[in-house]
Amino acid sequence: MARVSQEHLDARRRQILDGAASCFARNGFHATSMQDVLKEADLSAGAVYRYFRGKDELIAAIVTDVLDTVRGILEGAVRESPPPLPDVLIPRALARMREERPAVLDDGSWMFPRLMIQVWTETTRSPELAVVLGEGYANVRGVWARVVEGYQEAGLMSASADADVVARAMIALVQGYAAQMALFGGLPEGTLGEGVRALMGMGAAGGGGA
């Protein structure tokens, strides 16, 4: 019997996760059945259940996969010296995420922001998913903090600033912008960069009269 390659197994797993993510983003977790996932992924029940026992495992795997992708994108920034400033890094991270996970919904909108909203909603009801999301978020937050430490080492930010606090603020910018995209329609990442750049320049704006 021919041995199935790891590359084939990974591709099949990716096919299942992408199909499930599309269903969840479109219809929500509770309105999506495993039959919907099978149809979306164009696979048999046996092929899917070989990897995942049900929706809960699929949801947890999608969350882990997305957060691992985000962490990988940010680790690239950590290796730069200094890391790109927030007005460049945050839009670039979103753009890279769109490249990595480009799937769109039926109306042509980017799927990821809608999926993110669904995950947050489900997390409030599922302690198990809350643990998965919490662990993944902590890992991502740690990489953001390393970005901040890169700013401090380059003299771009006060050494007294709490790296974790700044990391949380930058994450909030990404999450808030993605939430706007999900709720109110797509906006170019450059719009976020312009807004962050303006906020960063407030102290240098020079105000007041003579």
104 DSSP assignment: B
Q: Are 24 and 60 in contact (CB under 8 A)?
A: no
Q: Is the pLDDT of residue 108 over 70?
A: yes
23: Cβ–Cβ under 8 A, 6 or more apart, which residues? 32, 36, 37, 40
Q: Which two tokens stand for residue 20?
A: 């499930």
Q: Are 98 and 9 in contact (CB under 8 A)?
A: no
Beta-sheet strands, E only, within 40-189: none
| pTM (2 d.p.) | 0.86
100 DSSP assignment: H
Query: Which pLDDT tens digit goes with each residue over 15-70?
Result: 999 999 999 999 999 999 999 999 999 999 998 999 999 999 999 999 999 999 99
State the pLDDT confidence band at 3, using cuts at 50, 70 and 90: low
